[in-house]
Amino acid sequence: MKEWIKAIIILPFNVIVVIPCVILYLTKFKFGLPSLWQMILGIFLLLFGMFFAIWTMFLFHKIGKGTPAPWASPKHLVVEGPYKIVRNPMITAVLVILTAEALMLNTIYIFYWVILFFIINCIYFKFFEEKQLEQKFGNEYFEYKKEVPMWIPRIKL
């Protein structure tokens, strides 16, 4: 349980709470009422993102026997639930939550953070995490990688 709390505080909490708060402070944020569509879409995205984040972390715990953190990573490759359609649904959930924040707070600066966070993760996954997963899970990961796209689901007709 201690590893989970540490992983959540260091990773998603910093990304979706601390960094946005710092951004708002540094940009001298003054709340401006968002439009009705922004608020409705933001609430929907926030709920969807939170559901997705909890679901993916639960799968890491139940199936993977680990946490989202690199220092206590899953011992088993997780390919169930949303991991059947994209390789990084947990990061997708965080991106959705951040987008919700940008909409509901009516600020472009959080959206810039969404873009930067996505770029950072594209680089990290491509050059670091995927290499580690290839070493750790071997052919199982290579097959998974061939079948499941990194970010955008394949639509099979």
d(CA 7, CA 71): 9
For the residues 122-128, what does the mean pLDDT come to?
A: 93
Burial of 115 (0-12, 13-18, 19+ CB in 10 A): exposed
Helix 19-26 and helix 89-105: axis angle, to 10°? 30
pTM (global) more than 0.95: no
**Residue 137 pLDDT level (bands cut at 50, 70, 90):** very high
CA atoms within 13 A of residue 103's CA, in its CB half-sphere: 18
Least confident interval from 12-26, 60-74, 113-127, 140-154: 60-74
CA distance from start to end of the chain: 42
